[in-house]
Each structure stands twice: as C-alpha cells, then as structure tokens.
Structure 1
C-alpha cells in the first residue's frame, strides 16, 4: 500500500482534486487546479474554474480560518472561513487562451497567514461563442465503410510566435501531427460522446512545434466508435456515421498582436494511409508498404493526394472535461504457451485493456496476425465470449528490416494473444495498457492474500472499463456505457480514482440522451442503436440520481448536483408515474437483480428477488436522492415534493413486501439487503430483517445469493444489523458462487458472472460471459468504508468517519485515500489480545470515530492511535459429530472442510452435489444429510474427521 507523510510548516497549494503525496516534510506541494485539465497542460474548459487547495502542517487539530487568493500580481481576494474545496473563481472570467497565475495562502487558528503557494498557471482552453470555424473533412469517394485516412495542409509562419493553440476533434478518432511530431501523447481522442448531441474538442499548446517559414499540419484518422456497427447479434447497424471525419482549428498568435488561423476545410489534401481497416470490435489491419515517409512534414509532394471532402459536423464541439485516454503501463510476456492445436500464445499475466506493440522482421508482404482473448479454455484461446468481435489485428510487413507496429485506433480486452504468420521473439512483444488517465486516489490492503488480490482485480477492471466512458466490458461486441453497472460501482470508483471529471462528463451525455427520450434514461449512454424508444429499467435509469449524488458525497461537487438536478427530477417523475396510484412499480420490463447466481445461463434476469420489489425500492431511492439534492441546492419546495413522494413509496413498499414480523415477500438475500441498506424499513423492523438475511446467508452455506443490485449492499446490510461475522464469512468464502471463487481460479479482473468459468476450466455456456466486468467488484466500497473503516461523514471528507469492523481470521486491514483536503488513512491490526486502530486525519478536517469496543469520539487533524480489547471468536459449546445440526457444521469452517474432504474421498460428485444444494438449517443433522448415500465405513471416517477437528479446537 502506498504511504503518505503528513508534516511540515503551514503552507497551501492549489490542487486538481487531490494533492501529490510527499515522502518527507515539505514546505509546499505541487499546485494543480481542481478543474480537470483534459490535455494534461494548463488549459481549463471554463472561464471560471473552481479552485481547491490542501494544507500541509505539523500543527495538530489545524482548521483554516481564512485564505487569500491572488491572480498574477493583483490584490489578494480575502476569504473567511474553512472552505478550501471547489471554491468559486473569485476573479474576472478568463478569456479564450488567456493565461493567469494564481496563488493561495491560508491562515489558521494557530496564528497569521502561512506562505504563498507556488503559482499555478491556468489558461482558457475554450473558444468564444461562434468562434469555431473549422469544417470537417474526410476522404472523397471512400472505397469501404469506415475507411481510415490521412489529411494534411501546409502554412506559413511569418514572425515571432507568442503562442499557438490547436483545437481539434473527430467523428471517429484522430491524432494530429505538426511538422512530423505528434502534438500530444493521447490516444483514441476525442473519445465517445453522444455525437448527435455533443462533441468535444481537445485544446493543445503546440507553440514549441512551430518553425519559422513553412509548416505542415497532418491528421491520422479512423472511425472508432463513430462508425462502429451496434446492436444485438444479427441486427447490427451503423448509427453515427458511415465515414470518419476530422476538424481542426490552429490559432497562431504573434508577438506583434496578429492572429492567424489554420482551418480544416477546402484546400486540405487527403489520402488513404497504411491503416487499411480499423474498428473497435474487429481490430485494426495495417499495410506498412503503404507508409508515406514525410507526409506530415513540410515539402512533401501531395500531388497524388485528393482534395478533401468537406462534410457537415453534427454539432459545434465543446472543450473536453474528462481526462485524456493514454498509454499508462507496459507489460511484458510472462509465459509462452503452445496450444493443443499447435498455436503460439503469449501470456501477459494480467487481464488488461489495450493493444500490443511488436518489433518484427520479415519479408515484404508477409502478414503478422494477432488474436486476443481473456482466458484459455482447455489450452486454446477462449474466443467464444467475444461473440462477433474478431479482436484481431494484422500487419503486412514492408520488408525493410526491423519494423515496430502498434495498432492505433482500436483496443482489446485480453490476457492472452496468439501470434501467427511471422515468427516473433516473445521479448519483442509488449502489452500496452490504455485507459482514461485519472489520478489514483485510493488503496487498500489486508492480511488475507485472496482479498488483496480481489481488490487488485477491482482496480484492473476499473482501469479496463474507464476508457473514455464507463463501460460494462472491454472485449466483446458491446463495450457500452451501461447505466446499471456504473450506478452500483460509482462509490468504489470514486474512492480508487479521481473520477469527478470523468463521470461528470458522462452525465452530460446521459442528460442529453434522456432529454430526447422523454425523461427515460436509456440502458446505455451513449445510446447508439435505438430502433425503438428507450424503456425505463430500475437500477439502470437510476444512475441519473445516484451517480451525481456519489460525486457530491465523495468530492463535495455541488455543481454536478445543480447540472444534473433536472435529469434526476425527470427520471424520478417517469418512474413515479409508472408506479401510479399504488406507488408500486410493477408488471413492467425489468433487469431486476441481474445475474443472481440462481439465474440460468440463458436467463440472467431470472433472479430469486422479485423484479417488482427491486423496481419499487429504486423508486424510493431516486425520490429520496432527488430530495436530498434539492435540499443541498436550496430548492425547498422541490425537496418537500420529492420527500413526500419517497414517503408514499416507502409506505406502499412496506405494506406490499414486508410482513410485520420482518419477513420479505421475496425471501431472498437482495430483498432484505434493499430494505435495510436503502432505509426502507423502519428501525424497529431492521433487526428482524437483518437476522433473517444472516439466516439466509447461513442456509446457503455462506455463499453469495445476489446479483447486480444486491451485491454492493449485502455486506452493509449485514454489518448494520449486527452480523459483521456473517459478512466476513460471506466475503472470505471461496466456494462457487463467491467473490473469491474467481480468485482461486486465477482471475485477475472481476468476472461478469459469479461462474464465468466453471470449475473444470470450461467457459460458462451463457452467450453473455465476460471476464472483465466491474459490477460485482462494488463490494470494494465496503472494504474501504467498513473493513478498513475510512468513509466520508460529510461531503468531500470535510468530516471523516473512522469506524473499522475487524473480522475474525484477519490480522490487519487498512485503507488510504487522497481526499480533497489531503491524504487520509484508517486501519487496524491485532497486537496480542488487543486491537490497535490507527487513523490519519488531514488538516482542515475532523473525524468521527467509532472504535470496535463501542467508544465514540471526535478528533481533529493529525495522526491518531487507539487500543481496545480484541474479541475472541466464540467457541462452539457442543462437540462436532454426525449428530450435530447442519448449522453447527457450516458455522465451523475447519469442520466443514473436514466433512467435505471425507465426502469427496467417497464420491467427489456426491460431495459437489451436497455442497451446491444443501440448505444448512438447524433442524437437520449431519447424519440425516448423509442418509443412505454413504456406506458405513465412509460414514465412520467422516465421524472420525469431525471428532479430530473438535479435539484440536474448531473454527
């Protein structure tokens, strides 16, 4: 786990969301703005960027009493109070390309102001209203759908250049090149938005790339998401465009005040390039013989090129707010496998998202082919889950010696790659990891190696599916922004990475798609294949209410609540109308508790919990969150309206689905978890509901029984009702279905299904099977908040909640998070008969602490440690034998393991059948479970094994 140091004199720094940790006492930290800088430089997408700063101090309990902000060398603006996160821009708005240096200094209760921070330069990365004049260009008379190409022009630079700024976008994907040099290190830009409603442009400082005299501006482009064919198998079609197009506007400002623009449009020249074909699903095919050296440099003879075709753009682009997609890591080959069919497969040791870079030699015309897959099935590439996605790249060699090739406009989800056609040294193949380049902000570790690997799998699944937008999976013919997946995963994501700009940008598309669908949130955003109007679905459309609230809760972002309030209200109004006079959303299409483990492979919505129950619970949840958002924004009448709606739905839910004794009409894990975690049930009923939930988990052998809806909240529901030990058994279960079963099967990402791969190494027979889906990884939020004990008690972590829940069988657990106020940490460890709880509270915050022994206290900033008695695990009061109740056996992990070892020695198939289908209830004994299935000799062996467990001490 990454470690932070908190110390030094009182200083402050402007920050982009979160500070860079320092490893020694420091006077200042590197200052960066809170507004995401999409290009990675000084540009901001708004004239009035909000400002944040963190303070480093060795003064305990430090609280800011005021601050001063200064722009350039002007007079400081004095602010009173503790606010230091997303503080409104207090200066005159920035003009396009205008630069300003900003500093901050703070004062606290410990005396006068500290030192000024280092200056932060911010520049307006936007254009004035009506200033976008570039026309989109593409290939005239393309010979194929989605044909990639090159575009170029030359221009003169006459005079001393003060600055040069490139604004560029594409309906597709592009890279701009100035005088032979790529303008940045981004890939797959500008990413995928709802192109028909919103496009974005990059803003790049290219001053250093200009030369006096003749310059050349070139653009490589392909179709990417814009020309992809979407839809269910057999019904795919294009949606946004048949051909890619690009637009660029280079603004050159001279020292003497002159301004010149270079615009795409008439006069540009275009040509097919070495990329013959490219698609997100199918892969990329390159012919290196078609390279044209110097095409992106001055003096190139483009007489053989065609005049560009000028095409209308769907919309005027806006500045991009989401972090750029970049190459973030490289991984080498860890194993070379010869498959049963004789193929050569390279194993990179990690299921990742990106592509391969290959160094290769071969004759002209030889073709190197790369096929990708996430898993092997019986020794061969497991490609069936890809469905119609070929996930295949190929390169025709030029035969000019050593050649280096990396596909540019596609990506794949893979751990394994098969190379064929040309012999390649495995050491010359590198896996290049690609995703949105967000700042890492959260870490977790514990003494259980499988849980640590589970958490690492969550991180890798986030990285793979946060590529331009939050997708469901990165490998098959889908890769869509499913709303239900991010609705459940947003809290986990917001801890692990600074997702504020990324998700706020996606929410803009959600609101636009929703506006054109009469308030209904589509299943996916962007929503490319709407043959019929979008249908509402609970837990999917509710992303309109849940995700903005998560961004407020974790980042104190009031603006996203304001921007999305109309969207949240529109969605809530839709589902309240569907609930009708009964205030129950019933009888409609629903995904329900998607991929509950009892659902058959071909019917993933056939869950144990009623879909109507799930739907009505989410009507309550969205009305409740809409009311809360309105309250934060000061819309009192709106708050009152939706709070009343929420109470009506709660009353109807309890009357319809909860008995007075605390039983749910759907007697399933998700039903109880919803009633508890959403606060649908009153306090006097929650304990009974929690007891029954714990009983169900025990009956099912401490195996998970939830799908997309119940999985993120079941451990919370158990913990809140006093069943943390049950949550612990559920969490550390390794039998199928469980969080750790995939880990025992070698998973390095989170699977879509609990059993995406069966124990015999066969891929689940369902047609929808992914090995990189983050939804079930939403349990990591509970690992952070409860197991380690680090959570926000007030928005943005202004007040922290430190409340660890130590679990039996673990010796320590800890979490760290870069809050908007600075690094915070919470954790615990066992020390003999004591528990030691430790916490780091950032300056300008406080923490509410609840220790495992029940003590509650409030502390200020600094490092803290407490000790309390460690509770000894409860020891069984009765011996373990054949006459033991089944609950006695299942509650004893050691005895349970001994039982199945003995049963498997008799009949492995019988052991698996008993494991999968037994209800572990108190009114049935081990003897009765065995019945006539086991001969007397084997029965005696099992009894002996159980007795030995008892003599050694069980548990």
Structure 2
C-alpha cells in the first residue's frame, strides 16, 4: 500500500491507493458483460447496424482501452467483419460491415489492448440473430372460426413429424392478445404477457425462441393458448373493451434446419385446430378464472388424440401494423415471497399478509372435491379497523377464481393477468389454509439491478427499498402509473419524472428504448404527445406540460446514463416535433394555452382558510418545461452535429426565457406563484436572470421553512426540489426535507408502514383513514424520484453529460442529516462505481472504486478542490 499526504486550504486528507494485486486474475486484462443493443445474445435484432458493448476488468490502476478488435462470424465460421480500431470506445460500437442477412444468427468476439500494453484473450463467443423482414413471414394469422366472442381462452395445436436429425429450430411467435406457447408439453420460455404491450395500431412485437433441444425425430406438437390482454380486454378507466381489436389471433412460424442442410417451415395456417381450455375468463384488471374440470390433459403433447371438439381455425388477413423484433426485456418471474401471516379480520374474512406491496400473482396449492370454487382477491392495505380494503381499486376486481377438478392437489396461478397487492383474501378454500399453501411471485420486466444505496438511517434505507419495489411493480413492460386499479397506463409524466432514478436502480436502457418507440408511434401528427403511451385514452386532449415533455426528457436522460447516441438519433424527430408543436401554439413565445395537469397532487390541506394550498399557475409551469424541452433539443442537436438546429433553437430559447420573465417575474424578483414548485422549476431550468437566482433560492428556503420544513410540491416540482436546494448551497434544507417524518414528506409513508411509494403524500392519513379512493394508489413511483438526489448527493455518484455513460465520473458526496455513513454502488456501462463513506471522531473517510476505461474527479465535503483519478480503488480522509 502506498500512502500520500496533501495539504490544501487547511484541509488535510490522505489518499490511500489500494492495490488490487490481491485479486487473482488469469491475465492482466479481461472482458465481461458483452451485449448487443443493450441485450445479452438477443434473438431479434432489427437494427441493420447493431451496436456492441463490453466491459474491461483490470487489476492495474489507471487502465484504459487503447485498441480493440472485433470478429463477426457466420455460422460456418466465416469472418465478415474484423475491425481493428485504436480508441477507447467500448460502449455501443456500431457495426459497419457488409449488409447482414435477415433471420440469421451471427457470432462475435472482441479482444482489447490497454494503455499499459496488455492484450486480453478473445472474449467468449457471443451471438445475436437478425430479425425478419416483412417478406420473410410465411405464416398466416389464425383465430377461432367465426366471431371471437367467448370469454374463454382459445387453445391452438399443430402436430407435425420430423424425420431427420435437427441442426437448429427457431420459432417466431406473436399474437393479438397474449400468448403462452409450449412444445411437446413444455413451456417454451420463461417470458410472460407476450408479445408485450406496444402501440399495436403501429407495430406488434414478435418473439424468437430456440427450440432445437425441444424437438425430436417423429411426432411433435406445438400448443398455444391466447388471452385477451391489452389488445382485446378491458383497458383504461372508461370500461372500454376491444380497443385494438375484437379478435384474438396467433402468428407462428417455426423454421427447422436439418443436419443435412435441408429446411422445413411449420407455419400457422388452416391445418391448425383449436378448442377452449380451462381459462374461462381473463382480464388484466379483473383476474383469471380457471376451471380445472375443463383441462384437457396432454392436449399439447404428441400422444393426445384430438376429438371432434377440436375445430379448424379461421384465417385472418394481415393488418396494417408492422411486425418488429423485441427491443426491450421480457417480463419474467423474480422474487418469491412466502406468506407471513394468515388471520381473520374483524369482519370475519380470511386474509393473508405477504409483508410487501408487490406486483405479480399468488401460487395457491389446493385439493378438494370437484366443483369447489376458491376465490383469491387482492388488496394493498387494510382499513383502519383492520379489514380488507379494495375501494381504491375502483372497478378492478383483482380476483382470481379457481374451480377444482377433484383428485390430486394442484398448484394454481393466473395465466393472463397480474395483480398489485400485499394482502389477499381467500374464500372457499377446502380445509385449513396454511402458510405453505401460498407463495407470492413478483413479476416484472427483466432488468438487471444496477444500483445499491444504504445509509446509517434505517428510515432512509426503507425509503430506498420502497423506491426499488415501486419500480419493480410498475415496470411491467411499460412504465405504469399504478399496478392494481383499473388503470395501469403508461403515464408520460410519471415516467419522465422518475427516469433518472430508474436508471440508478436498474438497467433500463432496453426498457426505455422499447417504450420510447411507442412514444414516437403514438405522437400525434401535429407533434403533440398523449398523456399515456400506449395511447388508449383516445382523448382529443394531449400535450400537457411535464407529461408530453417525456419526448425530450427521457431520450436525453438515457443518453447521459448509457451513452446511447442512437436513442437521440431515433428520437430526434419526435423531440423536435414536440418543441415545434409548442412553438406553434405559443403566442409571443408564451405557452399559455392548452390543458395541463400542472403540479399534480401538490400539497392541498383539507380546510384551506389561509391560502396554504400550494397552487402553482399551470401556464407558468408550462413555460418552464417549454424552455427545458428546447434546451434538451439543443443538447441533442449538438451531440448529433445538427449545428443549424442548435443555433435555431438557442435563439428560440432566449425568447422563451424572456417571455417568462416578462410574464411571471416581478421587478423585485418574486414569482407570481409564490410556491415551492414555481421557484424550483424556475431555478432548475435557468429561467431567471443570473443576478436574481440566489434571492429566488432564498425565497424557496423561506417558503419551505414557512411550512414547518415540509415540502408542498407535486409530481413536477418534487423531482427537482432537493437538487435546486443543493445547487444553491442550501443542502442543509434539502436534508431537513428528506429527513422530515411528518406529513407531507418522503418519510411520512415510511413511518406509516409503506413498503412502496404512495401516489399521495397522505394516502393513509394521520388518523388512519384514507385519501379519496378514486385516486389513491399505494404503489405509484413518481415521488420516488428523490432517489436520484440520494445517489448523487448522499452517495455522491454523478454522471458527466459531456462524457456520457459514466465515461467520466464525479464523486462528490455531501454528508448531512446527521448521517454517519452512506454507501452507493452503480453498475455502469463501463463497470462498477462505488462510493462509501463514514464519519467518526471528526474524520470523514471515503472509499471509491472507479471501473477500467473511465476516469473520475473526487470532491470531498467542504472543499471545491477536485482530485483527478483513474480506474482503481482509492481511500480518502479529511477533517469534518
């Protein structure tokens, strides 16, 4: 260990450069986490120029990549691309070789040389498969014959014989509705709710599965069950059905290559048969009904003898929608939670507590006489008396019904619905319900956890827990606003507010890549953006400030977090169209028209006799987001080399800010809406002249103190509140707000027993009663946006936009709030960043880990001095 001492501005700190020599490496540099388009070995890459990423592992400090070499090979090991490039790029390296063939598997490897002259071995072989072109589809859409009017799920089967050894077998599947597919009686994947929810009128995703190991010489059977899903089922809170269509349909194409090189295709066509299975009803809001008496044992296996009940399918024409490959992660099963307690409520109901508000379903073991009906109803909370509470679900039943067939016991779970719950109420269970009969399964998009955050304060740790579980429960293919009531929609305002926090907690690069395509697809022809995406509200109104700005905010946030220039390129027209739309309706550069949600769910006391409700002028808010979106468009234009656009919108931005000052700022520097949100947005988006910003920050502080150090912000002000306070040297006030335990505050729900983030600051009031049941979700991630501030200021892990993806890192922890320790960790696209500190006996100690191929600057508390460091492990100390 080497030790260095530095004395600067009377602050003594010691830097210990911790050698990593103790780590055992087979070589001095190695590679890990290889991906294509943010995904591991993806099967349906539509990008004709796929992008490759890898991470460096090195035990030597200050290691960067000096050179890389990629080999791209065909299945017969022919090299078709072999660039040897001298630079440090290891993230999203774009393919620029010969045109790739469709539905073809390619293999690739990479090796690198570092700045110390060390060369890695070739990485393990990775692969990807290109997607299908429109002309590659030979399958036909199949459905039930006649009108698809049954509530029951249709099941489809196809028998086929293979008479030679199979070299490879690839299935391409999609549906209108949801599908579950099997081959020879075995589920073909661990994916759920396929093909996912997209802007169906524009594009439907297909999935690709390798079935090579599942097929056999002789007879084979493919079976597929369909559910209503988002396509046909009830969607939105207006009880609308059949929004995208009234007919469930299947598209299936299996391409088999034999060992002798010959090929065969098994398609969905008129040779398929259909029947109805045991799922007699399915709805995302209301749950599944499963009648085990209607099971057809072995229906998807070769030995099954199909009776006359199996009918010939109907053939549907192709629709106008495009078929596209998967660009986001599938929905899969994750944590399994055992039941904690079974009890009787005061109302005499049998209720089970799983201890965590979550999203997914309950697996139920049951055995009893045929015809026994069991219902499993789901709820987030109990009421003040301790009874099962479902009023806040509105019309969503959230009930799964299981009908026993008698005989041996079975394990039940829904197939085409998911629930948001902590508690379940069980009716009709035969015999004694036991804890071992119940398992709760969390279901959400398959996103790697990338962030960890903990402190010496247990309440803050629970808050972080709640933020993470709120993200899990609401990132079910689309970023939903709530996962339990009759809504579950991709509200744009919630998503943009939370996006940066989401990118700390989990790898959401592919998740948002997929969803932003839907934002573009559902964007109106005039450039306005709907309130929800996919847009099932079908409202003539759109373009709400802070909601529609998702078009600019998330592409920029993902660029900063993941260095994804491709997202800026693909979303640039959408970004520009949104800003141009606002310009078209603005008058004199002032956006003072349209319907806006404003600072949604801001503080509004019940009996506001002295004007304490924190009402912020909606058009004032709109003007700040107009400026913000314009600034982000300028940023994107500069990154993409669009200098003319950058100059054009820089000129516009100055006019927007001047119009804001003229309309909303008094000569003495007071804003016409004297609220926290008004000052926060004005300062966050640099709306005020430089000489008036500090006094505006003081007005913000005075306002916070006037409410007894409580926040009054809603969905639009909350994400930036603590950031603004810290930026203008009021970090102590930010900490005071964060640590506030009484309503309204982040910790109030924690003190009230929350395990996720609530929709309202007082979802459960101090007297134990509830907020308005029409809009009172207990799993609603928007206010969890404080997580972004906690990672950046408490842990001190910050990206630098000029070098996105954490190519350059700022480590700048700002202790406060009586914390004695904090630790943050983030798996970036380059590797793991760690920042962990303690305070004891007047000494601040900081341990930092910086990944290879990056650099960082460290700023210790109470000093502006930056210490430049390279990759490696470091220790710092200073008096505090």
TM-score, normalised relative to structure 2: 0.93
After superposition, the Cα gap between the structure-2 partners of 1:24 and 1:607, relative to the gap in structure 1 and judged at 3 Å, is farther
Deviations 1:354-380 (A, max 9, x none): 011111111000001000000011211
1:643 aligned to which of 624, 641, 650: 650
Output aligned runs, 1:680-829, within 5 Å. 680-793=687-800, 794-829=803-838
Distance 2:359 2:605 in 1: 29
CA deviation vs aligned residue, 1:812-837 (integer Å, no higher than 9, x gap): 11211011111001232102111112
Q: 1:144 to 1:123 in 2, by over 3 A?
A: closer
Q: CA deviation at 1:663?
A: 2.0
**Which runs of 5 or more residues in structure 2 are unaligned?**
1-17
Are the equivalent residues in 2 in contact too, given 1:517–1:534 (CA < 8 A)?
Answer: no
Counterparts of 1:245 and 1:182 in 2: how far apart (Å)?
19
CA contact 1:840–1:863 (8 Å) conserved in 2: yes
The aligned residue for residue 69 of structure 2 is 68
Partner SS, residue 783 of structure 2: helix
Indicate the residue corresponding to 2:108 in structure 1: 102
Residue 495 of structure 1 deviates from its aligned partner by 1.2
Seen in structure 2, the aligned counterparts of structure 1 residues 623 and 830 have a Cα distance that, compared at 3 Å, is: same
CA distance in 2, matches of 1:669, 1:492: 21
**C-alpha separation in 1, matches of 2:607 and 2:743:** 15
Is the Cα contact below 8 Å between 1:610 and 1:666 reproduced in 2?
yes
**What corresponds to 1:488 in structure 2?**
497
Contact 1:9 1:26 in 2 (8 A): no
Please state how far the C-alpha of 1:100 moved relative to its aligned partner: 3.1
Counterpart CA distance in 1 for 2:766 and 2:139 is 57
Aligned partners of 1:513 and 1:527 also within 8 Å: yes
Q: 1:90 Cα deviation (Å)?
A: 4.5
- Alignment match, 1:946: none
Query: d(CA) in 2 for partners of 1:380 and 1:309?
Result: 49
Map 1:265-304; keep pairs closer than 5 Å: 265-302=269-306, 303-304=308-309
Residue aligning to 2:873: 863
What is the match of residue 175 of structure 1?
180
Q: Give 1:92 shift.
A: 3.4
Q: Is the 8 A contact 2:33 2:55 kept in 1?
A: no
Deviation at 1:400, TM superposition (A): 1.6
The Cα offsets for residues 329-366 of structure 1, whole Å up to 9 and x where unpaired, read as 11110111211111110000000000111111110000
Counterparts in 2 of 1:431 and 1:587: CA distance versus 1, 3 Å: same
Aligned residue for 1:409? Answer: 416
Residue 88, structure 1, aligned to residue 94, structure 2: yes
Q: 1:327 aligns with which of 325, 333, 348?
A: 333
- Structure 2 residue matching 1:32: 3-state secondary structure: strand
CA distance in 2, matches of 1:475, 1:93: 46
1:528 aligns with 2:536: yes
Asked whether 1:571 is paired with 2:578, we answer yes
Structure 1 unaligned segments of length 5 or more: list them.
11-21, 871-955
Quote how far apart the aligned CAs of 1:565 are. 0.5
The one of 837, 852, 858 equivalent to 2:846 is 837
The more displaced of 716-725 and 304-313 is: 304-313
Shift in Å, 1:145: 5.2
Is residue 55 of structure 1 aligned with residue 56 of structure 2? yes
Distance 1:45 1:380 in 2: 51
Partner of 1:880: none
Distance in 2, matches of 1:214 and 1:8, equals: 58
Report what 1:503 is aligned to.
Answer: 512
- Per-residue CA deviation, residues 849-885 of structure 1 (Å, 9 max, x unaligned), is 2221212222111112222221xxxxxxxxxxxxxxx
1:572 deviates by 0.6
Structure-2 change in CA distance of 1:24 and 1:495 (3 Å): farther
Q: How far did 1:307 drift?
A: 0.9
CA apart distance, 1:567 = 0.4
Q: Does 236-245 or 822-831 show the bigger shift?
A: 236-245
**Distance change (3 Å), C-alpha of 1:366 and 1:23:** farther
Asked if residue 306 in structure 1 is aligned to residue 288 in structure 2, the reply is no
- In 2, Cα distance between the equivalents of 1:847 and 1:548? 24
User: 1:585 deviation in Å?
Assistant: 1.4
Distance 2:49 2:126 in 1: 14
Q: Deviation per CA, 1:692-748: give whole Å up to 9, x if none.
A: 111111111111110000100000010011111110010010101100000001000
CA drift of 1:528 comes to 1.5
Which residue number in structure 2 is paired with residue 159 of structure 1?
164
Instruction: From 602, 612, 618, give the equivalent of 2:625.
Output: 618
Q: Secondary structure at the match of 1:295?
A: coil
For the structure 1 residues 686 and 25, does the alpha-carbon distance in structure 2 shift closer, same or farther, using more than 3 Å as the test? farther
SS of the residue aligned with 1:503? Answer: helix
Please identify, of 27-36 and 401-410, the stretch whose mean Cα deviation from structure 2 is larger. Answer: 27-36
Check 1:141–1:343 CA distance in 2 against 1; reply closer, same or farther (3 A cut).
farther
**1:8–1:27 CA contact under 8 A, matched in 2:** no
Offset of 1:230 from its aligned partner?
3.2
Q: Separation in 2 of the partners of 1:814 and 1:23?
A: 26
The 5-angstrom pairing of residues 212-611 of structure 1 reads: 212-233=217-238, 236-302=240-306, 303-314=308-319, 315-377=321-383, 378-423=385-430, 424-514=433-523, 516-530=524-538, 532-581=539-588, 583-598=589-604, 608-611=615-618
Which structure has more relative contact order (CA 8 Å, sep 6+)? It is: 2
Q: CA separation in 2, counterparts of 1:831 and 1:76? A: 54
Q: Which stretch of the first structure deviates more once superposed, 746-755 or 426-435?
A: 426-435
Query: Across the two proteins, how many residue pairs are aligned to each other?
Result: 847
Task: Determine which structure has the larger strand proportion and give its number.
Answer: 2
1:489/1:774 contact within 8 Å kept? yes
Q: Residues of 2 paired with 1:865 and 1:853: CA distance?
A: 17
CA RMSD in angstroms, aligned pairs only: 2.2
Given that residues 601 and 766 in structure 1 are in contact (C-alpha distance below 8 angstroms), is that contact kept between their aligned partners in structure 2?
no
The alpha-carbon deviation at position 599 of structure 1 amounts to: 6.8
Instruction: Sort the Cα spacing of 1:633 and 1:146 in 2 relative to 1 into closer, same or farther, 3 A.
Output: farther
